[in-house]
């Protein structure tokens, strides 16, 4: 329990009274006193500080403000109290503590307007970003020695090699789920042997690449955005520019290239792991031996299913890397923006991957690879 | 943070008791401190005692662990050995962060200001108030934030600005305002004048000195700025060879026969600062007594 500061009123004839403050006028003890002083509405002509045991700037401020509001005089102040009051008196201010907030009727249209303008600027920004990337890619193709091999290898390790464990495990489990759910339905027609077709074709065409894309967007797309965003904040990107290193060549090309190169490999690996998961389940739940399942895959999965998956993969990688790098390079103000941009990079990447996947599905069916 | 009147929901009986102001002679006592990162030993058997009400300057070459020393004192870096006492309570015996119950009684200014980037300057100042004294009325809290901002020498419009909108010098002042939010007894300043122009640096020095005199602060000040040392520091601690090799006033240090100290204070920059102190010392002291805590940041010493 705290010893709160207190006050006593000494009413005199004529209405005006003296307020005697007592106790410690410090930030820790002043809360309730301040509230009570504010509520006073009687005239006051003197504020007596002689009963005050300790004082800090908050106490000095409260006493001085009360004196100012009631046009009263401060008496009995110690040397320290006088010094503090003199110090804070000059620091009186009525400024806003936060930027003024507009009425909701203004705020909503303003937010919508900002959003629309943001879309427009975003479109221009993306086009500009793509242009810068094309130019740099052109430079790199003309002069392959400009390609930063070390950075590329490093990104390949981060995007590809270190993702093998989690993608493999995830797709193995997804393979089990697909085979099990498929088998339950197909058993009703006595056609559980077709679980092999279902698992194999689905894994090669869609699942492997799509699950990989989602995982890469979550692991690497977010990392790209956060890394580049932080580098923008710490002016590393500006420093690169000033010493003649193009940030696009040094930072973005290796990341984009790594994602484009790794996605097909990861996608194929993921599909294989999903099939192994399916075979694993079939071995125990459907009495289809493991190796029978695998050899049947060769017969029931047409070669073009593999191509469908492999053709889509680099495009997905490109989208993920572009979204990550673009959002990262847009960071300007503060640490909060890094978080927002990282989220946007992942959300946009996954969304665009799925939209593109739908287009690819229709396209490949039309060209006869159904 | 909600504008809702927290005070009504606070159970006053649950508020922690408030410690008496520190009455001892030595608010900071460090004994036998050892800090290391892996094999790299930063401090070995380091001891330092700070007197109440003084401004102690800590100097040392780059990499001698000045900032690490400060981080150890405020409990951010757990030392390998040694004891640290601040305001009579031990930092090194604290089991976790909550054990350090004197954090409402010190203020820390980090090198870059370390302002919370999503809050305005005034809201930054309000954070410690809200954390330690939720019973204070929002209205009083805003008033406190405003006058602390002014007291640190910022213009009043700065209160509503976000850290990203401030210059480096203004960020330092805003950081100082936050460090002063709770009227601390001890103030830690990590290179407060680094990166400021000479006029701004001189104004910041004067501000530190005035605040120390007015509020009776003990100031632990890490600096490379020789002018700051000559101008406002009561004593200077020299960090070298992994320990504090000497503590004393600058004349006392100059009398020592240590090569690093001699080079530090008698190098070209040291001489320049000495000269300016000899010439301008009296004038700046007059200026100091004339204006108390002023809000102008234009006049140089």
What does pTM read for this prediction? 0.72
Q: Which of B104, B123, B295 sits opposite A97 (nearest CB)?
A: B123
Which residue in B has a C-alpha nearest to residue A86's C-alpha?
B292
Residue of chain B minimizing CA distance to A98: B160
Interface of A with B in 165-224 (CB under 8 A): none
Q: Choose the closest CB to B146 out of A35, A62, A97.
A: A97
Chain A positions touching B142 (Cβ under 8 A) are: 97
The interface predicted TM-score of the complex, written ipTM, equals 0.77
> A303-342 pLDDT, tens per residue?
999 999 999 999 999 999 999 999 999 998 778 889 999 9
- Chain B residues whose beta carbon lies within 8 Å of the beta carbon of residue A98: 120, 122-123, 160
Q: What is the SS3 assignment for B242?
A: coil
CA distances from B288 to A90, A266, B137, B206, B284 (A): 16, 70, 35, 7, 6
- Say yes or no for a CB contact (<8 Å) between B293 and A87: yes
Judge: B149–A30 Cβ closer than 8 Å, yes or no: no
Q: Mark yes or no for CB contact A58/B163 under 8 Å.
A: no
Tell me the nearest-neighbour CA distance from B89 into chain A, angstroms. 19
Cβ pair A88:B147 closer than 8 A: yes
Q: Find the farthest-apart pair of alpha carbons in chain A and give their distance in angstroms, rounded.
A: 110
Question: What string of DSSP letters covers A188-257?
Answer: TTT-GGGHHHHHHHHIIIIIHHHHHHHHHIIIIIHHHHHHHHHHHHTTHHHHHHHTT--HIIIIIHHHHH
Helix boundaries (H) for B194-249: 198-215, 226-232
Half-sphere exposure of B93 (CA within 13 A, CB side): 7
User: Looking at CA atoms only, how far is residue B62 from chain A in angstroms?
Assistant: 21
If 0-12 CB within 10 Å is exposed, 13-18 middle and 19+ buried, where does residue A244 land?
exposed
Per residue of chain B (301 residues), give pLDDT as tens.
444 444 445 555 566 666 677 778 888 999 988 888 888 888 888 899 999 889 999 988 888 888 889 988 888 888 888 888 888 888 887 766 666 677 888 889 988 888 888 889 999 999 988 888 888 888 889 989 998 888 888 888 888 988 888 888 888 889 989 998 888 889 999 988 887 888 888 888 888 888 888 888 899 999 888 888 888 899 999 988 888 888 988 888 888 888 888 888 888 888 788 787 777 655 444 444 444 444 444 433 3
User: What pLDDT was estimated at residue A204?
Assistant: 93
> Which chain A residues touch B21 with a CB distance below 8 Å?
54
- If you measure CA to CA, which chain A residue comes closest to B163? A334
Rounded to whole angstroms, the Cα distance separating A145 from A143 reads 5
Nearest to A84 among B148, B163, B214 (CB): B214
**Residue B58 in tokens:** 């800590």
Tokens found for residue A198: 């279902």
Residue in B closest to A97 by C-alpha: B160
B156·A93 Cβ contact <8 A:
yes
List of E strands, chain A? 6-11, 17-25, 44-55, 73-75
Q: Which residues of B touch A92 (CB under 8 A)?
A: 147, 150
Q: Give the gap in angstroms from C-alpha B49 to the nearest C-alpha of chain A.
A: 26
Handedness of CA B198, B204, B209, B214 (dihedral sign): positive
> Residue B13: what pLDDT?
55
Contact with chain B for residue A27, Cβ under 8 A: yes
Answer whether A56 touches B (CB < 8 Å).
Answer: yes
**Element housing A364 (H / E):** helix A335-366
Please report the pLDDT score of residue B261 as a whole number: 87
Q: A2 vs B18: CB contact, 8 Å cut-off?
A: yes
B13 contacts in A (CB within 8 Å)? 1
Per the CB < 8 A criterion, the answer to whether A150 and A254 are in contact is: no
Residue among B87, A240, B209 at smallest CA distance from B221? B209
pLDDT for the residue B299? 39
Tokens found for residue A166: 């989690």
- Find which of A78, A79, A82, A97 to mutate to test the B interface (most B CBs within 10 Å of its CB): A97
A154-161 LR contacts (CB < 8 Å, sep 24+): A154/A254, A155/A254, A155/A255, A155/A257, A155/A258, A155/A259, A156/A258, A156/A261, A156/A262, A158/A220, A158/A223, A158/A258, A159/A216, A159/A219, A159/A220, A159/A255, A159/A258, A159/A259, A159/A262, A160/A258, A160/A261, A160/A262, A160/A265, A160/A266
Contact A57 B183 (CB under 8 A): yes
pLDDT digits (tens, 9 = 90+) for A264-277: 999 999 999 999 99
pLDDT of residue B97: 64
DSSP 3-state assignment of B49?
strand
Q: Nearest C-alpha of chain A: how many angstroms from B71?
A: 23
Question: Is A61 an 8 Å CB contact of chain B?
Answer: yes
Distances (CA, A) of B192 to B99, B175, B200: 28, 10, 11
Contact between chains at A28 and B140 (C-beta distance less than 8 A): no
Of A31, A334, A336, Cβ closest to residue B7 = A31
Question: pLDDT digits over B144-185, tens only?
Answer: 999 888 888 888 888 898 888 888 888 888 998 999 888 888
Q: Which of A28, A29, A52, A65 to mutate to test the interface with B (most CBs of B within 10 A)?
A: A28
What are the tens digits of pLDDT across the range B197-235?
Answer: 888 888 888 888 888 888 888 999 998 888 888 888 999
List the 320-359 stretch of A: residues with Cβ below 8 A of B: 333-336
Lowest mean pLDDT among A288-297, A340-349, B220-229: B220-229
Output A80 or A340, whichever has higher pLDDT. A340
Strands, sheet with B89-90, edge to edge from the N-terminal-most edge strand:
B40-50, B28-37, B81-86, B89-90
A vs B: CB pairs below 8 A = 127
Structure tokens given for B128: 């410690």
Query: pLDDT by residue (tens digit) across A147-191?
Result: 889 999 999 999 999 999 999 999 999 999 999 999 999 999 988
Test A99 with B120 for CB contact under 8 angstroms: yes
Backbone angles phi, psi at A227, to 5 degrees: -65, -55
List phi, psi (to 5°) of A178. Answer: -60, -50
Which residue in A1, A94, A334 is closest to B164 by CB distance? Answer: A334
The answer to whether residue A94 neighbours chain B at the CB level (below 8 Å) is yes
Residues of A in contact with B161 (CB under 8 A): 99
Residue A87 touches partner B, C-beta closer than 8 Å: yes
Q: Are strands B81-86 and B89-90 parallel, antiparallel or unpaired?
A: antiparallel
């Amino acid at each position: 329990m705290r010893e709160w500061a207190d006050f006593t009123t000494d009413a005199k004839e004529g209405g005006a009274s003296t307020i005697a403050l007592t106790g410690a006028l410090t930030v820790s003890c002043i809360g309730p006193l301040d509230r009570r002083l504010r509520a006073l509405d009687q005239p006051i002509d003197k504020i007596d500080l002689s009963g005050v045991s300790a004082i800090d700037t908050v106490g000095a401020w409260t006493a001085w403000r009360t004196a100012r509001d009631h046009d009263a005089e401060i008496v009995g102040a110690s040397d320290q109290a006088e010094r503090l009051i003199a110090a804070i008196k000059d620091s009186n201010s009525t400024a806003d503590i936060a930027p003024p907030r507009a009425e909701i009727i203004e705020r909503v249209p303003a937010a919508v307007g900002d959003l629309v303008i943001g879309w427009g600027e975003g479109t221009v920004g993306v086009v500009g970003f793509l242009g810068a990337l094309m130019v740099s890619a052109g430079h790199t193709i003309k002069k392959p020695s400009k390609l930063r091999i070390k950075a590329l290898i490093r990104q390949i390790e981060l995007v590809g090699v270190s993702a093998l464990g989690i993608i493999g495990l995830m797709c193995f489990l997804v393979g089990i789920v697909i085979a099990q759910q498929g088998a339950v339905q197909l058993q009703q027609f006595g056609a559980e042997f077709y679980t092999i077709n279902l698992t194999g074709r689905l894994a090669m065409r869609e699942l492997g690449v799509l699950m990989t894309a989602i995982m890469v967007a979550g692991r690497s797309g977010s990392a790209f955005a956060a890394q580049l965003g932080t580098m923008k904040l710490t002016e590393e990107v500006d420093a690169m520019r000033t010493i003649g290193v193009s940030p696009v060549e040094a930072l973005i090309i290796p990341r984009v290239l790594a994602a484009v190169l790794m996605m097909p490999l990861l996608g194929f690996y993921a599909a294989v792991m999903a099939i192994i998961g399916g075979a694993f389940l079939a071995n125990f739940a459907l009495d289809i031996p493991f190796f029978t399942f695998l050899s049947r895959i060769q017969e029931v999965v047409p070669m073009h299913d593999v191509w469908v998956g492999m053709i889509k993969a680099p495009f997905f990688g490109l989208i993920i890397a572009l979204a990550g790098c673009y959002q990262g390079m847009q960071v300007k103000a503060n640490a909060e923006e890094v978080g927002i941009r990282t989220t946007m990079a992942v959300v946009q990447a996954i969304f665009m991957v799925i939209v593109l996947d739908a287009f690819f599905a229709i396209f490949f069916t039309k060209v006869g690879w159904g | 943070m909600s504008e809702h009147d927290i005070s009504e929901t606070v159970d006053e009986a649950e508020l922690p008791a408030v410690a008496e102001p520190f009455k001892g002679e030595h608010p900071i006592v460090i004994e036998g401190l050892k800090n290391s990162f892996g094999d790299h030993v930063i401090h070995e058997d380091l001891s330092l005692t700070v007197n109440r009400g003084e401004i102690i300057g800590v100097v040392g070459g780059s990499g001698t662990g000045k900032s690490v020393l400060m981080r150890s004192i405020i409990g951010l870096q757990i030392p390998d050995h040694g004891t640290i006492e601040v305001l009579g309570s031990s930092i090194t015996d604290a089991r976790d962060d909550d054990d350090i119950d004197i954090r409402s009684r010190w203020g820390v200014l980090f090198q870059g200001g370390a302002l919370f980037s999503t809050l305005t300057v005034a809201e930054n100042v309000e954070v410690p108030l809200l954390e330690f004294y939720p019973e204070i009325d929002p209205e009083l809290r805003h008033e406190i934030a405003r006058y602390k901002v002014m007291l640190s020498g910022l213009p009043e419009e700065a209160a509503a600005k976000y850290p990203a909108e401030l210059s480096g010098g203004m960020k330092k002042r805003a950081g100082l305002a936050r460090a002063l939010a709770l009227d601390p007894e001890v103030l830690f300043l990590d290179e407060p004048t680094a990166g400021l122009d000479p006029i701004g640096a001189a104004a910041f020095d004067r501000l530190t000195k005035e605040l120390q005199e007015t509020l009776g602060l003990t100031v632990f000040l890490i600096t490379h700025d020789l002018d700051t040392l000559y101008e406002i520091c009561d004593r200077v601690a020299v960090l070298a060879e992994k320990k504090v090799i000497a503590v004393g006033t600058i004349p006392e240090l100059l009398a020592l026969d240590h090569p690093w100290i001699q080079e530090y204070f008698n190098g070209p920059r040291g001489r320049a600062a000495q000269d300016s102190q000899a010439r301008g010392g009296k004038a700046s002291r007059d200026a100091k007594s004339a204006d108390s805590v002023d809000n102008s940041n234009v006049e140089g010493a």
